[in-house]
Amino acid sequence: MISYRIVEGRKLRCGYTTGTCAAAAAKAATIMLLTNMSLEKVEISTPGGEKLSLRVEECTIKECEAACAVRKDAGDDTDATDGILIFAAAKRMPGRKGIELAAGIGIGIVTQPGLACSVGMPAINPIPRKMITEAVSQAAHAHSCEEGIQVTIFIPQGEEVAKKTFNSRLGILGGLSVLGTS
């Protein structure tokens, strides 16, 4: 389903955030890990309750890990991240419980106070963190997985694309921030 919003009298097609892409990729990677099967699409709900079915790309499955990507679509309000791939890798954590979230290449690090993430931490904001954790948890529960899962979010183009954003002025260095509130 395509949604629209009106901005200054213009009808704009809505896209989805880096956070939504990261959560969708994390859910897909977890399902792939637990089923040993690649996916073409994954369903996810946004914080606003909208249900999305997003295309899954670049699937890889190894013995103990699965990874894939979801392509960012900024809609009609394009930004520097439009069209890039947001990846997630899921890995079993035998003997452990819960979901562990990690940041890989292309995710920026917070270097100044005043943002939603602490200084020295990856720039994955609280709402996307919650979305990712909930998506992975849902996938694990649906496939009767009781062991822990580590999910790493990474954006291979992140460092280069970040140079076209305001991230460095905000104190986010080395990559992109994973944002999303709607």
77-98 per-position pLDDT tens digit: 778 899 999 999 999 999 999 9
User: What would the pLDDT profile of 119-157 be if each residue is shown by its tens digit?
Assistant: 999 999 999 999 999 999 999 999 999 899 999 999 999
Average pLDDT over residues 91-110: 94
Asked if the model's pLDDT at residue 4 lies above 60, the reply is no
Nearest CA-CA partner of 92 in 136, 130, 57, 56: 136
Least confident of 10-14, 110-114, 131-135: 10-14
Percent of the chain with pLDDT over 70: 92
At residue 79, the pLDDT reads: 84
Assess whether pLDDT exceeds 60 at residue 182: no
- Structure confidence at residue 3 as a pLDDT band (50, 70, 90): low
Query: In the chain, what is the straight-line distance between the N-terminal and C-terminal CA atoms, in Å?
Result: 15
Residue 40 pLDDT > 80, yes or no? yes
Question: Residue 78: what pLDDT?
Answer: 74
Q: How far is CA 90 from the centre of its chain?
A: 12
Q: Residue 70 CB: number of other CB atoms within 10 A?
A: 30
DSSP code for 123 = S
pTM for this entry: 0.91
CA–CA separation, 110 and 98 (whole Å): 25
Q: Quick one: which of 127, 135, 102 has its CA closest to 23?
A: 135
- Per-residue pLDDT averaged across 102-131, rounded? 93
Give which of 117, 140, 113, 165 is closest to 26, Cα–Cα. Answer: 140
